[in-house]
Structure 1
């Protein structure tokens, strides 16, 4: 089964979910907790994340959308971003990079 990545608030994450990206928590500029991509979360992991004030995690979830639904969501995200970035100078590499990063995030 295909999967996709979703950024979920820690309050919605449960034991058994799999990290889709590394989870690194930092406090006062120091890494305090880390788990690798692909790690299956345990109750103890969730407790540690809460203790270290984690807020979100990138989780692998089953892809339940059809190809048409995915294409429509990408089209809608692109239209919205085009409106948001309408006055931005996308010939600037930093602006274009931000646009592409937000589009990738919204296309997940």
Structure 2
């Protein structure tokens, strides 16, 4: 069998990209989602003011996170450590049947 000359017609992908990749040098200006409800679009500036004035949870740590969640209308107390919560919410040792249930993927053993 003779070798074919298909090498001359190399595969050309059907998709074509226009121009080179260019990434923006600064982030896009914040704006409401185009399909947001009209009342959300109207009050977006107020939201940005509140968002920018609130303490960042990544900088201040978990203390400000707990404080901000209590201000934002979280129901009930916010606990800093697990022992401050009621004992029913503490982590507990798993029973053998609970371990088997997890290992079986929740399938019934009956």
Give TM-score scaled by structure 2 length: 0.21
Q: Which of 1 and 2 has higher RCO (CA within 8 Å, sep 6+)?
A: 1
The structure with the larger Rg is 2
Higher strand share: 1
Give TM-score scaled by structure 1 length: 0.21
